[in-house]
Amino acid sequence: MRPAADSGAAVALVYAIARCTLLRIHETGYPLAANPMRSLIIRLPNHLGDACMALPTLDRLAGEGIELTLAGRPWAQELFAAYPWPVVGLPAARRERIAALRALRVRMPQQREALLLTNSFSSALEFRLAGLRPAGYATDGRRLLLHRAIAVPAAWSGPMHTIEYYFHLAQALLRLAPATAPVPSLQLTAAARERAAAALARAAAGANYVVLCPVAQGRHRGQVKSWSGFGRLGGELIARRSVVVVCPGPGEQASARAAVPQARIIEPLDLGAFAALLAGSRLVVANDSGPGHLAAAVGARLVGVFGVTDPAKTRPLGPGVRLVGGAGGWPPYDQVAAAVATELGEG
């Protein structure tokens, strides 16, 4: 009976190896063999700043030869207009989002693999109900919904930047060698630049202007995310003969006018044109908000003003970025004004 015992032991060993391999695939995405993935549906983050911080991750995935289809808020269609990636705008209502994802699966029956750059339980559930196979971080109790669950890196409990957080997810999914994420860089279309130029012409702003972004949506732990010094800064810049423009987003016109009443108000633009407007400026001054990250991503010179959020995790990154303040409170007005004067060559 010895051979039977040996046979049973061999079967048990094979089963154990297979089980470990399957668990490994579930945790990291693939076994140690070459990555077979050729296409991915990417669930984009819900906020503009996070979408900008995800750019290096999207570029890395595309650089590995993976065909990307993006799914996210409707504004993402214009934000990524310069890229070859199809963008599906997801509706606000959950049932409609699931229906849109199902329609995408029907149109692209071979493309079921997905990567969630969102951390929520609901995003994983929606992709599962649409018949897709999402991978993502094992957050918000959603591990069992993920086709491939990836552990949150230990560094995230420290000062790991959000750009690196997204970048690590792609590297873990594809079993890539660890690398440092580059700073975000957003491509723009010629049409977006033309729309920005036309808006500036209608406002008689010329080509030598400073953009102030005084509005920041929502609160952070109950605290307002908008610096209170934009009105004074705008008045002083205008007194020094700078052309100051404000381009509010949808529904922000009244808040923007109240914050900087002396500025030239540009009508709300689509995100592509707004990004081009920022790219062509002398300087952008913004809160820790989507416009600040967008300005950094298009290579604009930026003074970012922090007062309630943690710069270690969410600061805009780029060669022309200067930060003032931090999570401990808003900086003194004179400190921000001095940084702006320095960036404009007036300090």
Q: Which pLDDT tens digit goes with each residue over 224-240?
A: 678 999 999 999 999 99
Of the candidates 174, 201, 234, which is a domain's last residue? 174
pTM for the model: 0.88
Of the candidates 174, 202, 229, which is a domain's last residue? 174
Q: What are phi and psi of 39, to 5 degrees?
A: -150, 155
Say if residue 1's pLDDT is above 50. Answer: no
Say if residue 130's pLDDT is above 70. Answer: yes
pLDDT above 90: percentage of residues in the chain: 80
Q: For residue 77, what pLDDT is reported? A: 97
The band of 310, judged by pLDDT with boundaries at 50, 70 and 90, is confident
The reply to whether 164 and 203 lie within a common domain is no
From the DSSP assignment, how many helices (H) and strands (E) are in the chain?
Answer: 14, 14
Q: Which residue has the higher pLDDT, 14 or 255?
A: 255
The reply to whether 157 and 215 lie within a common domain is no
Q: What is the mean pLDDT of residues 200-221?
A: 86
Say if residue 6's pLDDT is above 90. Answer: no
Q: For residue 61, what pLDDT is reported? A: 97
Q: For residue 346, what pLDDT is reported? A: 81
DSSP H or E segment with residue 265? strand 264-265
Say if residue 11's pLDDT is above 50. Answer: no
Answer whether residue 180 is part of any domain.
Answer: no
The band of 142, judged by pLDDT with boundaries at 50, 70 and 90, is very high
CB 232 within 8 A of CB 223: no
Say if residue 5's pLDDT is above 70. Answer: no
- Average pLDDT along the chain: 89
Say if residue 9's pLDDT is above 70. Answer: no
The reply to whether 257 and 312 lie within a common domain is yes
Closest Cα to residue 184, out of 345, 286, 56? 56
Tokens linked to 209:
């202007």
Q: What is the mean pLDDT of residues 300-326?
A: 94
Q: Which residue has the higher pLDDT, 213 or 19?
A: 213
Say if residue 124's pLDDT is above 80. Answer: yes
Answer whether residue 15 is part of any domain.
Answer: no
Q: What is the mean pLDDT of residues 305-332?
A: 93
The residue type found at 266 is I
- Residue 295's CB is within 10 A of a number of other CB atoms, namely 33
- Residue 117's CB is within 10 A of a number of other CB atoms, namely 24
The tens digit of pLDDT for each residue in 145-196 reads 999 999 999 999 999 999 999 999 999 999 999 999 999 999 999 999 999 9
Q: What is the mean pLDDT of residues 272-298?
A: 97
The residue type found at 152 is V
> Strand 148-150 to strand 87-89: parallel, antiparallel, or no bridges (unpaired)?
unpaired
Q: For residue 220, what pLDDT is reported? A: 56
Answer whether residue 11 is part of any domain.
Answer: no
Say if residue 7's pLDDT is above 50. Answer: no
The band of 75, judged by pLDDT with boundaries at 50, 70 and 90, is very high
d(C-alpha 301, C-alpha 279), whole Å:
8
Q: For residue 34, what pLDDT is reported? A: 45
Answer whether residue 62 is part of any domain.
Answer: yes
Ramachandran area for residue 98 (φ above 0: left; ψ -120 to 50: alpha; else beta): alpha
Least confident segment among 11-25, 112-126, 291-305: 11-25
Closest Cα to residue 343, out of 297, 290, 277, 282? 282
Half-sphere exposure of 54 (CA within 13 A, CB side): 25
The reply to whether 205 and 168 lie within a common domain is no
How far is residue 100 from each of residues 88, 104, 109, 165, measured CA to CA in Å? 8, 6, 14, 28
Of the candidates 174, 200, 221, which is a domain's last residue? 174
pLDDT above 70: percentage of residues in the chain: 87
The band of 251, judged by pLDDT with boundaries at 50, 70 and 90, is confident
d(C-alpha 158, C-alpha 145), whole Å:
27
Determine the structural domain holding residue 210 and report its residue range.
190-343
Q: For residue 347, what pLDDT is reported? A: 61
User: Angle of helix 230-239 relative to helix 333-343, nearest 10 degrees?
Assistant: 40
Q: For residue 309, what pLDDT is reported? A: 86
The reply to whether 128 and 247 lie within a common domain is no
The band of 215, judged by pLDDT with boundaries at 50, 70 and 90, is confident
CB 225 within 8 A of CB 191: no
Answer whether residue 104 is part of any domain.
Answer: yes
d(C-alpha 170, C-alpha 113), whole Å:
13
d(C-alpha 19, C-alpha 34), whole Å:
20
Question: Tell me, what CATH number does 67's domain have?
Answer: 3.40.50.2000
Q: What is the mean pLDDT of residues 264-287?
A: 96
Ramachandran area for residue 242 (φ above 0: left; ψ -120 to 50: alpha; else beta): beta
Structural domain count of the chain: 2
d(C-alpha 270, C-alpha 192), whole Å:
9
